[in-house]
Every structure is written in C-alpha cells, then in structure tokens.
Chain A
Amino acid sequence: GAVVSQHPSRVICKSGTSVKIECRSLDFQATTMFWYRQFPKKSLMLMATSNEGSKATYEQGVEKDKFLINHASLTLSTLTVTSAHPEDSSFYICSATGINMNTEAFFGQGTRLTVV
C-alpha cells in the first residue's frame, strides 16, 4: 500500500506554545488529507478535511483558529496546534487519499502530543 509519513511521532510542549505536525504522502499524490484526534480508548474523531490548494473544512466543534491546517502541495499537509493547553494532549493521526475517493485511506504513524 501507499506510504504516509507523519512527524513527529511524539512531542512534549509547554502550555501556550505551538506545535506543528507534518503529514507527507511519499509515493502518491494526496488530493485529500484528513486529520483525526483520538483520546485514550476512544475512536478517531475527524477534525478536518483538507484538499490541496484550498482551505480546510473543519468539523463542528473544532476551532479552526486553534488547529491550523495547511495543504500546500499534493504531498504535504500540516496541522499546527496553536497555544496548546493540557486538554489538547491527544493522539493526532493524519490520513490521505488519492484521486479516487473510494480507495482506502492511508494513515500516518500518528503523533502523541503531551502538553505540560
């Protein structure tokens, strides 16, 4: 299957700082990328959907000014958690699909964010 690389895998940051998470498709053009958040023992919650070159579409209840998503190219999307707080500590996962939306989504390895 296709490869999606997500970095960093783990990050610890202080409250009030910003953290950027990168999601790269290594061997295909990702026309759409999805960002999920997962709390312990809970399912993946879709935060936003981003299409290359356009603004991300955020799910209800997700603050777009806090979770900045940029999808500047067909191989890279970034999620920036701004002014992070302890309640933002979670497992963040990106996934990407190609041109055909019916194909499976390929997941990055996930990023464990801990805000102290």
Chain B
Amino acid sequence: QKEVEQNSGPLSVPEGAIASLNCTYSDRGSQSFFWYRQYSGKSPELIMFIYSNGDKEDGRFTAQLNKASQYVSLLIRDSQPSDSATYLCAVNTDKLIFGTGTRLQVFP
C-alpha cells in the first residue's frame, strides 16, 4: 500500500462549483497534513496545513481531517479557471511524503 494515495484525475468541475479533492494515508502516526498546489513546471506552493481532526477554513479553501479514517480532503469553493493545477497531498511523519497528486481542471 502506498503511503499517501490520491486519485490522479483529472477532476473536471465548472467554474463556480465546489471541487473536492481526497487523500488517504497509511501511517497512523502521521501528525500533520498539507495540501500543495503545483502548476506545470513549477514548484509546489502550500495552500493549507491541518493538524487536528475536523475542518479548517481559509478563504475559499477548507481542509478536512479524519485521523480515525486516515483521510484528509481539500474543498475549493467557487472554483476558478486559475485553480486548474495539480493538487498534492503531503503527510508528515518524520519526513514529508507526497501523494501522486490530483489534476484539477476548472472550465469556464
């Protein structure tokens, strides 16, 4: 089993819709969880991090963590074409491990 799993997509949503990105992880000892956005040919940029069970909101983004289910998600409200990118889930145990990323396409 991969340490961090994501659906590769692409996930296509219309502009203004909610995009839901999901991630599961295998190490129950994981303490912190991150969502990065990566545009083609660029380095990842941090969107949000979450440590505690529940929801964490920042602008149009909401991260959700369920440690019992080993599941973390990212919701993007009012999706914009500029949100089209690959979204990487990362889990920190003693090192930061990335999922394969989900490609999001927001069409006008």
Report which A residues bind B (CB closer than 8 A): 1, 6, 34, 36, 42-44, 46, 49, 91, 93, 95, 97, 101-102, 104-110, 112
> B88 touching A95 by the CB < 8 A rule?
no
User: Within 8 Å of chain A (Cβ to Cβ): is B45?
Assistant: yes
Stretch at the interface among B12-20, B63-71, B73-81, B98-106: B98-106
In the complex where A46-B95, A102-B32, A104-B34 touch, is A1 in contact with B46 (Cβ < 8 A)? yes
User: Within 8 Å of chain A (Cβ to Cβ): is B26?
Assistant: no
| Chain A residues positioned under 8 Å from B96 (CB to CB) | 34, 46, 95, 97, 105
> A101 touching B92 by the CB < 8 A rule?
yes
- Give 1 or 0 for each of B17-49: 1 = CB within 8 Å of chain A CB: 000000000000001101000000111111001
| Chain B residues positioned under 8 Å from A44 (CB to CB) | 44, 88, 98
- Please report the C-alpha to C-alpha distance between residue A95 and residue B9 in the assembled complex, in whole angstroms: 26
> A110 touching B42 by the CB < 8 A rule?
yes
- Please report the C-alpha to C-alpha distance between residue A112 and residue B46 in the assembled complex, in whole angstroms: 20
Given pairs A44-B88, A44-B98, A104-B49, 5 additional interface contacts (CB within 8 A) = A6-B43, A43-B99, A93-B43, A95-B96, A101-B92
